A and B are shown apart, each in its own frame.
Chain A
Amino acid sequence: MNRVISVSVNNKAGVLNRITALFMRKGFNIQNLTVGVTETPGLSRITIVMNETDDAALEQVIKQLYKQIDVLKVTDLTQQPMVARELALIQVNSPVAQRSVITTIIEPFRASVIDVGRDTITVEATGKAEKIDALIALLRPYGIKELARTGLTALARDVAMVTEARRVSEGNVISI
């Protein structure tokens, strides 16, 4: 199962390197990773998607992340309501004759054209990963010249009680 982990870190030089080095050393594969500042000055949020991770490995990941001095909070978003979005920029072949067809295709996706060239247009799309996959699949027959995806970024939904790594499971308390 894909896991989505959200990590709050101090926004300092080298922190991202520490985090990724840890994944490398433990042999955990990162599917994608996004990072950016948060509402709190000095804090950044890293959203990490890991593929195929069992519970024991995930627990290790979270504990190892917590060992980093610059990590403030680790949240496993996988099992709880979250909002997750990805941004894609898609440059697609679009001779003038076809342009209206393509705009019709992208419309239901609420994607927009952000650049128009002689033979291409560039489409910006935001949404769940599946939605972006679908849009890409529809555009592919027209010839995608270049594609860039940011990877997922996510937040827990407001309603959810955020289960931090402080887990209370089967009566066993591990305070981290």
Chain B
Amino acid sequence: MRVMSENPDYTSTQTTEPRMLSGADMLVEVLRKEQVEVVFGYPGGAVLPLYDALYECGIRHVLARHEQGAIHAAEGYARVTGKPGVVIATSGPGATNLVTGLADAMLDSLPIVAITGQVAKSVIGSDAFQETSIIGISTPITKHNYQIQHASELPGVFKEAFHIANTGRKGPVLVDIPKDVAGEVAPFVYNAPPQLPGYQPTVIPHVMQIKKVLQHIELSHRPVILAGAGVLHAGASRELRLFAERFGIPVVHTLLGLGGFPADHPLFLGMGGMHGSAAANTALYETDLLLNFGARFDDRLTGNLADFAPTATVVHVDIDPAEIGKNVPTDIPVVGDAREAISLLLATEAKSPEISGWREKLLDIKAHTPFWYVQEGNVIKPQRLIEQIAQHTNGEAIVVTDVGQHQMWAAQFYPFVHANRWVTSGGLGTMGFGLPAAIGAQIAEPNRQVVAVVGDAGFQMTLEELAVVAELELPVKIVIVNNGALGMVRQWQELFYEERYSSSLMKWQPDYLKLAEAYGIPSLQIRDDGALPECLSAFLAAPGPGLLECLVAPMENVYPMIAPGHGLHQMVGVKP
């Protein structure tokens, strides 16, 4: 006779009972349900139960060599995939080491779920070993944060955390898990949608506003599109291109928006802002209709606000209503997702404005004032280095940078024709971002060429992550743009502090080749311009990781430039 429990029809009622799991096992289940492929992290006392659960659970864990490296890697992963990057750190010092990355992800709206261990509930607040109030510390630099009090809350909290990190204006969410919670057992239920009455991002814009935008487009004489990273977050590249083509409106990108609109498109004017192109900044200054799609009017873009788009009707499309009117007074606010907004703009009938004169004028400026540098002897000019990297990667690589002059040159001289292949720290300008972010990007896209362009100074801030490159044999190609200085600082001191180079020249540098050797990474150094093409093509074609130290012209400056406090029409160094 058959036992009843063997009959699937009867047992099925049993399987709907929630499973009892420990907090640590719940975390693993959560990661599975959220389809997390990889977690970046670093263990320690308070997260040992979590790490024990992660052991052999099938989810990949990448051991960074510093928690800052772990979170920047998660950021690189998030930037390239558009999926949340997940990072784990222990309590106290592990958690505080995440702070820079949280702030970075906050300013650049990257979806991150950061999991920190915490001391046991019974000793929280007693200055226990490795205790810090990471909730207090991270409140201003996270989109939201949680401390879990009991394992039964864990599934709900994570459901919310992933939801909040990856919707609306994306951002970092931190979940702090006391050590004893990891051991508590509770029912695991993970299907209820999060109940967040206070969090209802507006995705579909108001139709009236869209109509208004179209009316202004029809009447405009000098329209320009300013496209920010919101376009990339919304996956709106295609819509952006269709929109620009349909109305014939030229496009300016912010630093972080690069790749959202193809750099080789005839309507592309380049990047705007402090080191932007003359065509882009002229357009932003003279426009009568500024169509901002997902840019937040950062001061590095606007320059002196008094001189920013002074005669324009300003349309601002943003998923975050608090951005609208924050820096630049807005005439037509459109709250919503960039893709939804542009799709609506495309779906309605409207005449294209007669703007051929304006377009020709800008394209003429573009043609006559490209980004420039002057070749001098056999020294490697950093701009040419970037040009050469672009050539040898066919403009197809994922380019990750650190922060400084090299970052600006990469933005100027690498033509980004695809979305999500440009990884840089914009809002916070975090030195040390480049190498770990490149690791995250390469893990996200194992088959695509990843080039990390880093400065000699920034590289030294997180170079311990070379160990990860070596251990995982990631084919990341690291290019150190060595100008023997904290280049961008040196440039500012040259221009604004009477060449008083206070602590910006590096009198001593490590032997980068030996460093690479110590990590088992093939490396070479180059200083002659003539050897650059051949050297680069071999370097980039070699399998596995590689480090190339380029000794470049040490006194080279980034131009054009808008000095601090000046307006978009006050660019210097537009021509050699």
Contact = CB atoms under 8 A, between A and B. Distances in A.
Q: Do the two chains bind? A: yes
Interface of A: 9-10, 13-14, 17-18, 21-22, 25, 56, 59-60, 63-64, 66-72, 172-176
A13 to B, nearest CB: 8
User: Residue among A10, A59, A64, A67 with the most chain B CB within 10 A?
Assistant: A67
A56 B199 CA distance: 23
Contacts of B135: 14
A60 B341 CA distance: 23
Contacts of B199: 69
29 contacts: A13-B147, A14-B135, A14-B147, A17-B136, A17-B139, A18-B139, A22-B140, A25-B140, A56-B325, A59-B325, A60-B322, A60-B325, A60-B326, A63-B321, A63-B322, A67-B322, A68-B198, A69-B164, A72-B197, A172-B209, A172-B332, A172-B333, A173-B333, A174-B324, A174-B333, A174-B335, A175-B206, A176-B202, A176-B321
Interface residues of B, number: 26
B164 A173 contact: no
A69 B142 CA distance: 11
B320 interface: yes
Residue of B135, B320, B321, B324 with most partner-chain A CB within 10 A? B321
Nearest to B169: A67
A26 B325 CA distance: 15
Given A71-B198, A172-B332, A21 B139 contact: yes
A63 B318 CA distance: 13
Interface string B324-349: 11100001110100000000000000
A18 to B, nearest CB: 6
A64 B325 CA distance: 12
B291 to A, nearest CB: 16
A66 B201 CA distance: 10
List the 7 shortest-distance A-B pairs measured between CB atoms, nearest first: A63-B322, A72-B198, A69-B144, A69-B199, A176-B321, A174-B333, A173-B206
B202 A175 contact: yes
B132 to A, nearest CB: 15
B374 interface: no
Interface in B93-141: 135-136, 139-140
Interface string B197-233: 1110010001011000000000000000000000000
A107 B457 CA distance: 74
Contact of B140 (A14, A21, A60): A21
Nearest to A176: B321
B209 A66 contact: no
B196 interface: yes
Contacts of A172: 209, 331-333
Most buried by A among B202, B322, B324: B322
A163 to B, nearest CB: 16
Of A17, A72, A174, the most chain B CB neighbours within 10 A belong to A174
A105 B402 CA distance: 72
Contacts of A60: 322, 325-326
A138 B136 CA distance: 44
Given A64-B322, A67-B322, A72-B198, 10 more contacts: A17-B136, A22-B140, A56-B325, A60-B325, A63-B321, A68-B198, A69-B143, A71-B198, A172-B209, A175-B206
